[in-house]
C-alpha cells in the first residue's frame, strides 16, 4: 500500500463538490440538478478524484441510481458516498471465562420467588481438587482497513487476559485454563489466582458473611450466628445415591430380560420374523444397559474420590456458637439448640460417621 503524503480533502468542480470524510473512508458528492444532466459529469468527477489523489474506485452503480432519481425528482444530490474505503475490523480482547460464580458480589436471589436470602452469599468460592476454575479465552486479532487514498488503517492490537497462578493452581494445556491443585476456597488477589486450604475468618460469622461453605478446614476467630458447612460439596451423597438407584434399576431390567433372551437365542433358527425382531431388540436393550451401568459406575468412583478428598475437614470456632446454627462436616451435621462456648472444633468421627465436638483444638490449624 502507498503511504499517504499530501492530499486535498475537498475538490470543487463545475456545479459539484467532492469532500473526503474525516475518517478518510468515504468521498461525498454534492451536486446541483443542472450539473447532473451534463453528459461529461462522471468524467469530471473522476478527474476530481484524481486531483484529490483518491485511489479507491468510483461506485458507478450508486452514482448512476442517485443521478437518475435526482433527475426524475428535479432535486440536487447532497453528501452522497460515491467512493468507499474499507474500515478496519476491531480486535476482540482475551477474556477470563470462570466456570462458576466464585466472586459474585451480593446475596443469593431465589430464581422463582425473587426473594433475597441474606444468609447465603451469591459467590460460591468453595472448590475441589482438580476442579477447572477458569478458561483463558485467547484474543482475536483485528483486520487492517484501507482508506480512499490507499493507505493502510492499522487495527489496534488485542489485549491478552491477565492471570497468574498461585502455588495451589496448575495450568491445563488441553482446556487452556487453570485447575485447583487442592480443595479449599478460591481467591483472587490482584491478578493472582490461588486456593486457600484453610478458610480463616478473623471476625464473626453472621449476616455480613452469610452461610459459610468450604471444602477444607474452617477457623472462626469470632462468634458464629449462621451455618457452616465444611468438607466436600454437600450434594455429593445425594448424587451417589441417585447413581446407585439408576444402576440398580438397570440391573433389574437386565435380570428380567436375560432369561427370555437366552431362551430365544437357543432356538433362533426356529423363530419367525417377529420373534427375531424381538430378540434383536432385547440384545440391543441389554447392551445399552450394560454400557450405561459402566458409565455410571465410573461416575460413582469419581464422586467417591471427590468425597474422600475432604475427609480431614474440620470446623474450629474460638468464641460463641449461637442457637439456630447448623454445623455440617461432610455428610454429618448438628443443629445447635443451646449456646456453645468455644474454643471448640467440629469434625466427623471416622468410626461412627457422626458429627463430634471437642474442646481439644489446634489453634494454628
Residues 6+ apart with CB under 8 A from 67: 36, 41, 77
Distance CA 220, CA 207 (A): 15
Task: Return the pLDDT at 230.
Answer: 62
Task: Return the pLDDT at 325.
Answer: 81
Task: Return the pLDDT at 5.
Answer: 46
Q: What is the pTM assigned to this prediction?
A: 0.53
- Fill in the DSSP letter of residue 270: G
Task: Return the pLDDT at 163.
Answer: 93
**Residue 189 above 90 pLDDT?**
no
Place of cell 444530490: 77
* Beta strands 16-20; 26-31: pairing state: antiparallel
Residues 6+ apart with CB under 8 A from 14: 35, 38, 44
Residues 6+ apart with CB under 8 A from 72: none
Binned at pLDDT 50, 70 and 90, residue 307 comes out as low
Task: Say how many C-beta atoms besides its own lie within 10 A of residue 21's C-beta.
Answer: 17
Binned at pLDDT 50, 70 and 90, residue 29 comes out as very high
Q: What is the mean pLDDT of residues 191-212?
A: 75
Task: Return the pLDDT at 173.
Answer: 92
Write 301-309 long-range contacts (CB < 8 A, 24+): 303/236, 303/239, 303/240, 303/243, 304/240, 306/128, 306/129, 306/232, 306/233, 306/236, 307/232, 307/236, 307/237, 307/240, 309/128, 309/129, 309/183, 309/215, 309/232
Q: What is the mean pLDDT of residues 249-257?
A: 88
Q: What is the mean pLDDT of residues 331-359?
A: 82
**Residue 180 above 60 pLDDT?**
yes
Q: What is the mean pLDDT of residues 35-64?
A: 92
Report the chain's mean pLDDT, rounded to a whole number.
83
Give per-residue pLDDT as tens, 81-103: 999 999 999 999 999 999 998 88
Give per-residue pLDDT as tens, 267-291: 877 888 888 888 888 888 888 888 8
**Residue 72 above 70 pLDDT?**
yes
**Where along the chain do its domains lie?**
13-84, 95-196, 197-232+309-365, 236-307
Amino acid at each position: 500500500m502507498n503511504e499517504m503524503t499530501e492530499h486535498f480533502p475537498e475538490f470543487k468542480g463545475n456545479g459539484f463538490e467532492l469532500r473526503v470524510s474525516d475518517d478518510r473512508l468515504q468521498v461525498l458528492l454534492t451536486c446541483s440538478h443542472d450539473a447532473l444532466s451534463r453528459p461529461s459529469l462522471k468524467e469530471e468527477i473522476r478527474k476530481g478524484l484524481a486531483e484529490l489523489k483518491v485511489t479507491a474506485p468510483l461506485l458507478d452503480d450508486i452514482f448512476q441510481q442517485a443521478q437518475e432519481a435526482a433527475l426524475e425528482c428535479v432535486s440536487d444530490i447532497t453528501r452522497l458516498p460515491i467512493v468507499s474505503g474499507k474500515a478496519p475490523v476491531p480486535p476482540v480482547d482475551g477474556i477470563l471465562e470462570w466456570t462458576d460464580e466464585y466472586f459474585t458480589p451480593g446475596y443469593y436471589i431465589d430464581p422463582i420467588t425473587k426473594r433475597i436470602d441474606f444468609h447465603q452469599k451469591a459467590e460460591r468460592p468453595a472448590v475441589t481438587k482438580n476442579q477447572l476454575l477458569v478458561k483463558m479465552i485467547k484474543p482475536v486479532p483485528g483486520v487492517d482497513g484501507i482508506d480512499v487514498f490507499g493507505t493502510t488503517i492499522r487495527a489496534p492490537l488485542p489485549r491478552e487476559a491477565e492471570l497468574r497462578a498461585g502455588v495451589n493452581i496448575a495450568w491445563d494445556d488441553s482446556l487452556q485454563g487453570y485447575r485447583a491443585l487442592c480443595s479449599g476456597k478460591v481467591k483472587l488477589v490482584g491478578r493472582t489466582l490461588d486456593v486457600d486450604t484453610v478458610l480463616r475468618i478473623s471476625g464473626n460469622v453472621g449476616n455480613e458473611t452469610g452461610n459459610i461453605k468450604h471444602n477444607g478446614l474452617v477457623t472462626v476467630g469470632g462468634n458464629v450466628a449462621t451455618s457452616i458447612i465444611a468438607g466436600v460439596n454437600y450434594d455429593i451423597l445425594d448424587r451417589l445415591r441417585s447413581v446407585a438407584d439408576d444402576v440398580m434399576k438397570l440391573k433389574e431390567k437386565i435380570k428380567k430380560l436375560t432369561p427370555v433372551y437366552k431362551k430365544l437365542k437357543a432356538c433362533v433358527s426356529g423363530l419367525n420374523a417377529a420373534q427375531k425382531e424381538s430378540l434383536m431388540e432385547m440384545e440391543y436393550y441389554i447392551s445399552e444397559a450394560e454400557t450405561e451401568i459402566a458409565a455410571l459406575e465410573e461416575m460413582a468412583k469419581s464422586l467417591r474420590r471427590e468425597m474422600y478428598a475432604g475427609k480431614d475437614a474440620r470446623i474450629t470456632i474460638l468464641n460463641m456458637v449461637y442457637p439456630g446454627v447448623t454445623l455440617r462436616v461432610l455428610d454429618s451435621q448438628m443443629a445447635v439448640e443451646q449456646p456453645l462456648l468455644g474454643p471448640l472444633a467440629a469434625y466427623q468421627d471416622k468410626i461412627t460417621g457422626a458429627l463430634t465436638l471437642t474442646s481439644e483444638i489446634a489453634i494454628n490449624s
